[in-house]
Chain A
Amino acid sequence: MLETPPLSYRINRILRGSIPFWLTFLLALISVVPLRIDGFAIVTPSLVSIAVFYWSLHRPYLMPAPVVFVLGIISDILTGVPLGLSSLMLLIIHAIAVSQRHIFVGKAFVMSWWGYFLVATGIALLSWMIACLYSLTLIPILPVLVQLILTILVFPLFAWCFGVVQFSLLRSV
């Protein structure tokens, strides 16, 4: 029988463990803050999807499916898109990341960048199709592609930041 760890230890663990969630939540908020750059609001990189992809790869138990779902709902509410669209997309990203972990974890960074490129492209096209179906019109696809390219370009920066967090605050979690 193991001795139950003291309360402070457990609180510390819980707080540290919730870091991926809070980070992603913060990114969801940041992506709707008006930067007042012409046309940028439309093509704001999808930072939440980067975070979900990264943490699903590196700490899947801190980014389980229900948390992904909640984050998706939050970003849906914030951006004003049909409720459920982002959560569906993020869940698919999560599922792919978790099931293909062995390909990416421990390999060169370029591998996960490439993986994210493939996943994000598929997701962008899928979400575009669903949005078109939802509104029964052809939505211009160019902004979707520009957003995709921007998201892929900023991926290394955010992945690096998450890496720093992972190896400092989440080393033992």
Chain B
Amino acid sequence: MALRQETAWKLAFPLKVIFQRFAFLTLICLSIALLVLGKADLVLMERVRTISTDALSPVLGTLSQPVDAINKGIERVQELASLVEENERLRRENERLQRWQTVSRALDQENEYYRRLLNALTDPLVLPISARVVGDSGGPFVRTLLLGAGSRDGIRVGQAVVGPQGLVGRIAETGENSARVLLLTDLNSRIPVVLEKSRHKGILVGDNSASPTLEYLPNNAQVSAGDRVVTSGDGAMLPAGRPIGIVSSVSDGQIRIQTFADWARLEYVSVLRYDLPGLTDRATNPGDLGESKLGD
């Protein structure tokens, strides 16, 4: 009996090893298959991703809270040191802005008057949804953010995401209560933009570096460092005229943009719900108040 058991062990041991090898190879093949399938943009893969991010985003939200608190504390201490100068600077800025406000009020009125004269259509209402950033891309290959709000809150794929300073990116995936933002520095990001002064249109192309490039400008376009770049609204997905950044360098045909967005300090972002009547489908990109909690 003992002998038989021993031979069974002798047989079973290599079997176990073979099984482990087999499982390992299967998993390697499965990983490669997933990579290939992912390239094919399958709906199923997308579902798996969104369901999992949905499940994980509350955990991330909780985990990021203490980090936020610590950061705020540090910031407070730093601010204390430069309180007086900061106050002085802000007072001067406030004066300057108040002058600007008077000018812009007058311009606004004038604009409104001309609009009425020409019977020009105004852009539809843009409704922002504020969402907390719960995760960033922990790696060198993608530039994304994870938000703690999703389709339940009215966020849809393609909507623009803006930070306090300017455009940050667009929504790439949505789950029930989480959404992934493709930052405009990601190498898959393409944003239709316009040079604010010369009104030449181009496409802002991300390349995973900190400063995306401006491409497909007309040949005769005059670009110089310091020009402001804003969204053009082409494609009817993003509202027009949102600030993105300034031209930082022009060298042998390559135009680099310094973005306004402060990538290190994005805590809350606004997702813009934008609906051009007749161009976007209300069901997939609702821009009205009906679905939002603001309308209640």
Contact = CB atoms under 8 A, between A and B. Distances in A.
Most buried by B among A34, A41, A128: A34
Given A77-B53, A139-B187, A143-B140, A34 B135 contact: yes
Interface residues of B, number: 53
Contacts of A5: none
A122 interface: no
Nearest to A132: B141
B136 interface: yes
Contacts of B136: 32-34, 41
B22 to A, nearest CB: 10
Given A74-B52, A78-B138, A80-B180, A34 B266 contact: yes
If over half of A's interface residues share one DSSP class (helix, strand or loop), that class is named, otherwise mixed; here it is helix
A35 B22 CA distance: 40
Given A78-B135, A79-B137, A34 B38 contact: no
Nearest to A68: B27
A42 B39 contact: no
Interface in A134-150: 134-135, 137, 139-140, 143-144, 146-147
B52 A140 contact: no
A65 B59 contact: no
Q: Is the interface of B mostly helix, strand, loop or mixed?
A: helix
A83 interface: yes
B67 interface: yes
Contact of A65 (B24, B68, B264): B24
Contacts of B23: 65-66
Contacts of A34: 64, 67, 133-136, 145, 266-267
B264 A36 contact: yes
B143 A88 contact: no
A5 to B, nearest CB: 21
B56 interface: yes
Interface in B35-82: 35, 37-39, 45, 48-49, 52-53, 56, 59-60, 63-64, 67-68, 71
**Most-contacted residue by chain A among B67, B138, B263 (CB, 10 A):** B138
A66 B135 contact: no
A3 interface: no
22 contacts: A29-B59, A34-B136, A34-B145, A34-B267, A36-B68, A38-B263, A41-B263, A42-B137, A43-B140, A46-B139, A64-B20, A65-B23, A69-B30, A74-B52, A77-B52, A82-B38, A83-B49, A87-B30, A91-B28, A92-B28, A127-B141, A134-B35
The 7 residue pairs across chains A and B that have the minimum distance between CB atoms: A84-B34, A38-B264, A143-B140, A88-B31, A41-B136, A31-B138, A84-B35
Interface of A: 29-44, 46, 64-66, 68-69, 72-75, 77-85, 87-88, 91-92, 95, 127-128, 130-131, 134-135, 137, 139-140, 143-144, 146-147
